[in-house]
Amino acid sequence: MDKFLITGGVKLEGEVRISGAKNAALPLLAAMILADSPITLNNVPNLKDVNTLVKLIAGLGITMDYEGETVKADTSTLSNQFAPYELVKTMRASILVLGPLLARYGNAQVSLPGGCAIGSRPVDQHLKALEALGAHIEVENGYVHATVDGRLKGADITFDMVTVGGTENILMAAVLAEGTTTIRNAAREPEITDLAQMLIEMGAKIEGLDTDTLVVTGVESLHGCEYSVVADRIETGSYLAAAAITGGRVKTTHTDPSLLESVLDKFEEMGAEVTRGEDWIELDMMGKRPKAVSFRTLPHPEFPTDMQAQLMAVNVIGRGFATISETIFENRFMHVPELSRMGANIQVEGNDAIVTGVEKLQAAPVMATDLRASFSLVLAALVAEGDTLIDRIYHIDRGYENIEAKLQSLGAKIKRVS
């Protein structure tokens, strides 16, 4: 099993190109199922999760051509509507094929999903909403079997809680439903807007983008198009955090500052100089030790839960103390014991973590527990004295493209070992 070996103490400097967003690419790939003519998706990151979903969609009989940063799909060859456990178990986003398959073909059999163990994240919101659209749902032997007679019917849907995956699944189902669907308490993440914009390019009628109420007027069919995945705001924030924790200066390119304002505000509060351009962000820590800052994770446009672990790592070596409140997932402090092994001073009280900054961290063998926690350990290792060995880095490969090459280009001493 691969591991990262990182020698700390290097101030990161340079420029790094940001990849397309994993969290946007996955629903966009699922939406390709809806196209009745060939469709092309550009700026697709080469990640384990992306490869898994491409393989899953190809397993439906759809012709998939994945080369470089481009995926092309032709649904005319589809032969079944079955997503098996063997593929779905590794990634929760696999459930996103449920809505498109049901809407277009009237039938879908999808295994209940797996993925990072950072909370229950039940799919009941997806299923209740699909039932409201007229689907018949049966859950048996670990599979969701959804059917509908004819077309789905538009409905007024209100989610009990903000759910990104649920919003995406129902949005993809509603675009082919008969009549009008109103989705209330919809998630507002940029990746959802990206999905809606591609669906509109395909011929869908959607109003209310960037708000918590989406109004979808169903159409009979969607056609193919050519579309590019939005920049990965979490990858962007992660590399800026690497500059902040090492006292360095990093410029992220091919990104969008407007998607990350709540995080950039916190970097500035830490004492960093943050400069924004149309498609780039530069963070200069000017060799200073960052100031510890408090924050609370909330749905977009507030501070994203996917940046919580990274900012905690920066806080660990910050001046003073800070309180971090995690309100999205109930089990997302699994990186705390690993950071503590390196000398961090963190006390967890329920959904709050109180971080008292220390001047130095010490290298130690640590283990990644989920995708974003993995990067927090990389950050800590970049400033720790000595050589840190990070195990179970398959988690990080799910969401960060060419991470060691990108960090090496900034001066980091990191290598992959077996």
Whether 119 has a pLDDT exceeding 60, the answer reads: no
Cβ burial of 410 (10 Å; 0-12, 13-18, 19+) is buried
With a pLDDT cut of 90, the percent of the chain lying above it is 88
Q: From 183, 201, 226, give the residue that closes a domain.
A: 226
Phi, psi of 97 (to 5 degrees): -80, -10
Spell out the residues 6+ positions from residue 298 whose beta carbon is closer than 8 angstroms to its own: 327, 328
Residues 181 and 168 in one domain: yes
The verdict on 189 and 70 lying in the same domain is yes
To the nearest whole number, what is the mean pLDDT of the chain? 95
Residue found under tokens 């995956």: 165
- Please check the confidence at residue 168 and state whether its pLDDT lies above 90: yes
Q: Residues 2-31: pLDDT tens digits?
A: 999 999 999 999 999 999 999 999 999 999
Flag whether pLDDT at 69 surpasses 50: yes
2 with 109, same domain?
no
Neighbours of 356 (CB within 10 A): 15
Residue 398's pLDDT is what? 86
From 206, 226, 246, give the residue that closes a domain: 226
**How many Å apart are CA 213 and CA 210, to the nearest integer?**
9
Is residue 203's pLDDT more than 50? Answer: yes
Same domain, 325 and 407: yes
243, 169: one domain: no
**pLDDT tens-digit map of 170-180:** 999 999 999 99
Residues 38 and 122 in one domain: yes
Same-domain pairing of 102 and 79: yes
Instruction: Record the pTM.
Output: 0.93
pLDDT band for position 331 (cuts 50, 70, 90): confident
Q: What average pLDDT does the segment 86-90 reach?
A: 83
Considering the domain architecture, whether residues 328 and 220 belong to the same structural domain is answered as no
Q: What per-residue string of b and e applies to 150-160 under the rule 16 or more CB within 10 Å gives b?
A: ebbbbbebebe
- Compute the 3-state secondary structure of the chain and give helix, strand, coil in percent, each to the nearest 5: 35, 25, 40
Q: Which amino acid is at 392?
A: R
Give me the pLDDT at residue 117, please: 42
User: What's the pLDDT tens digit per position in 242-281?
Assistant: 999 999 999 999 999 999 999 999 999 999 999 999 999 9
CA 168 to chain CA mean position, Å = 13
Q: Binding site residues for phosphoenolpyruvate, as ranges?
A: 22-23
d(CA 26, CA 40): 14
Of 226, 248, 283, the position where a domain reaches its end is 226
Range name among 85-89, 226-230, 309-313 with the lowest pLDDT average: 85-89
**Tokens 């103490």 map to which residue?**
9
Examine the domain organization and report whether 240 and 380 are in the same domain: yes
More confident: 279 or 328: 279
Q: Are residues 205 and 250 in the same domain?
A: no
CATH number of the CATH domain containing 396:
3.65.10.10
Residues 119 and 254 in one domain: no
- Domains identified in the chain, total number: 2
Q: Which residues are catalytic?
A: 116
Whether residue 389 is predicted with pLDDT greater than 50 in this model: the reply is yes
Once rounded to an integer, what is the mean pLDDT over residues 399-409? 96
Beta strand ranges found along 286-362 (DSSP E)? 295-296, 321-325, 345-349, 352-356
- Give mean pLDDT, residues 44-54: 94
| C-alpha distances out from residue 414 to 56, 245, 343, 388, Å | 33, 16, 20, 10
Strand 3-7, strand 387-391: pairing: antiparallel
Same domain, 6 and 63: no
Which residues form the domain of 363? Answer: 1-18+230-415
